[in-house]
Structure 1
Amino acid sequence: MHPPLRIAVLECDTPVDAVKAQYGTYGDIFKRLLKSSAAALGSLNFESDLMITGWDIVDGTEYPSLDEIDAILLTGSKHDAFADIPWINTLVEYTKKAYAHDRVRIIGVCFGHQILGRALGAPVGRSDLGWELSVCDVDLTEKGKELFGKDKLKIHQMHKDIVSAYPKEVVALGSSPRCAVQGMYAARKLIAVQGHPEFNGEIVSTIITLRSEAGVFSKEASEDAIARAQIPHDGVSIGAAFLRFLLEE
C-alpha cells in the first residue's frame, strides 16, 4: 500500500474515566501510538501519510465502508470476544468481510486479536492459567523476530481470555508461558497481538488499581503487576511493525 493510509480504529470499549480524562478514547490512544511509531519508522509523516478515524462500535451502529478505507484496527475491550451478543456478532461478521476484501488489511490488539481468531474459526475462551498482567515477555518465532526486529518482546498484558489455537491461514508470531497464541500474521491480510502496545505504565496501573478495588484481582497479583508496570516495553516497535505491515507490497 502507498500513503496516505486510511486507518479506521474500531473502538471496542471506552477507557475508564480516569484514563479517558487524560488520554481520550481508544482511538486517541492509538493515534498517539501510531504517531510515535511513524516517527520511529522514519518513512511516514504522521500528519500527511496517516488518516486515522475512530468508530464507536459498541454504542454506535455505523461501521466504515470497506471501500473507503485501507485498514481496520480492532482495539482491546473489557468484553468477551466469544460472547453471543448483537454488537460482538456484528463485529465478527464485519471482520470476516474485511478479511475477504481484496485490499483492506486488519490489525488486532487483545480483544481485537481474539475477534480475529474467532472470525477465522479458531477457539476463543477463558484461559485455565488466569490473568496475564502488566509488562510481560513474549518469546518470538522466527517470523516474529523478523517483523518486530527483536529477539523477544516486552509488552503490556491485560487479559485472561485467549485464542487457544492458530487459525490455519496465519503464521505464528510468539508465545508466553500463560498464552501460546500471542501473535498472528498473514501477509497483506492481518497482523495481531494479544498484548497492548498502546498502553503505558500509568494506564495499566490505573486499570489494575480499579479492578483490584472491585475484587477482580487479588492484592498480591495487583501489587506484582503494578511493580512491573513501569518496565520499558516495546509498544512503539510493535506499532512500527503494524505500519510496515500496512506498507507491504
Structure 2
Amino acid sequence: MISTIVRRGIQYDTILLNLAPLTLVDETKEQYGSIGNLYKTFLEAGASKLEESELLERADLYVSSYDVVNKQDYPDLEKIDAVILTGSRYDAFTPGLNNWISKLVDFIRKMLQDRSRVRIIAVCFGHQIVGRAYGVMPERNDAGWEVSVTPVVLTESGKQLFGQESLALHQMHRDVLPRYSSSASVEPIGHSDHGDVQGIYVKNPSEFLERRHGSVLDEATYQDGKDRANDPHDGVTVGARFLMFLLEG
C-alpha cells in the first residue's frame, strides 16, 4: 500500500530535518546497513529531484532510528521534526510480543490527539498502525498478496498531492485497512486492484526476494511479482513529495 501521511500546521525556518524512523523490521543487509540509512537514502533521492526542479534547496537530513520492537524505544518529540513508521513483517492487527504493537498504536494515537507539531509518515505496516490509531483495525486481505511494481489509481486529492494521474509503486503486503477512517481529516488518496485503501508506499524492493526465499509466497505470486520487479516506478516522486509534506506550512 502507499502510506498514510498526517499533516500538521508548522512553518520551518530552515530545511534542517531531524527524522526518527521507528524501526519495525530486522536490520537490512549490507547495501544500506540499517532501516534508518535506507530511508535516508530514499529521502535524499527525493531531495535531489526537488533540487533539480528548483522547487527548494537541498535538505539536510538527520536520521536517528528507534527500536520499538525489542527495546520499545521512542523519540523525544521535542527534539525531532517527523516520525517515520516503517514497513514490517509483523501483523498490525495483533498486540505483538510484550504488547509492542499496542503500545505503538497508543503512541501514535496520542500524537494525533495532542495535535503534535511532529509530522507522521507511515509506510505499509506503519500505514496500518495509523489506521488502528484512527479506529480502523487492519485485516488479512481476501485478495491475497500485493507484490512488486503495482499501479495505483489516484483520487482527485491524490492527483493534487503528486501532480500526476497515477503511481506505479513497489508493494509487499497481504494485510489491508478494510476502509478509510470516518475522521473528517482523513482523505482517500488512491486504490489498486487488491486494496481500496492506499495511502504512500516506500519499500526496499529486495524484500521481495527475501520473502520468496523464506517460502512465504506461492510460486505463481512469486513469478508474477518477479516479472514486474524491474518495471519503472514512482518511488523517487514519492520521496520528493514526502519532503515537500515535511517542509510546507
Name the % identity: 42
Contact 2:131 2:177 in 1 (8 A): yes
Alignment of 1:26-65 (within 5 A): 26-42=35-51, 43-46=56-59, 49-65=60-76
Secondary structure in 1 aligned to 2:188? Answer: strand
Greater helix fraction, Structure 1 or Structure 2: 1
| 1:149–1:199 distance in 2 versus 1, CA, 3 Å | farther
Letter in 1 for 2:192: S
Instruction: Give the counterpart of 2:32 among 3, 15, 23.
Output: 23
| Deviation at residue 204 of structure 1 after TM alignment | 4.0
Contact 1:11 1:58 in 2 (8 A): yes
Letter in 2 for 1:29: L
The residue that corresponds to 2:152 in the other structure is 138
Alignment of 1:204-243 (within 5 A): 204-211=207-214, 214=215, 216-243=216-243
* Structure 1 vs Structure 2 CA RMSD: 1.5
Counterpart CA distance in 2 for 1:9 and 1:121 is 23
The residue that corresponds to 1:188 in the other structure is none
Alignment of 1:98-177 (within 5 A): 98-99=111-112, 100-167=114-181, 168=183, 169-177=185-193
Contact 1:7 1:69 in 2 (8 A): yes
TM-score, with length taken from structure 2: 0.87
Greater strand fraction, Structure 1 or Structure 2: 1
Measured against aligned partners, the alpha-carbon deviations of 1:170-226 in whole angstroms (never above 9, x if no partner) come to 11100001100001xxxxxxxxx2x3x2423xx144224313xx2x21112111111
Counterpart CA distance in 2 for 1:71 and 1:44 is 19
Letter in 1 for 2:36: G
Instruction: Give the counterpart of 2:197 among 181, 187, 193.
Output: 181
Counterpart CA distance in 2 for 1:40 and 1:156 is 19
Secondary structure in 1 aligned to 2:197? Answer: strand
Measured against aligned partners, the alpha-carbon deviations of 1:126-168 in whole angstroms (never above 9, x if no partner) come to 1111110100000001111111122110001111100111112
Q: Which runs of 4+ in 1 moved over 6 A?
A: none
Counterpart CA distance in 2 for 1:164 and 1:155 is 20
The residue that corresponds to 2:84 in the other structure is 73
| Deviation at residue 116 of structure 1 after TM alignment | 0.4
TM-score, with length taken from structure 1: 0.87
The residue that corresponds to 2:26 in the other structure is 14
Contact 2:145 2:221 in 1 (8 A): no
Q: Structure 2: where are the runs of 5+ without partners?
A: 1-10
The residue that corresponds to 1:94 in the other structure is 107
How many residue pairs align between the two structures? 228
Counterpart CA distance in 1 for 2:204 and 2:69 is 21
Letter in 2 for 1:199: N
Contact 1:66 1:98 in 2 (8 A): no
Counterpart CA distance in 2 for 1:248 and 1:164 is 30
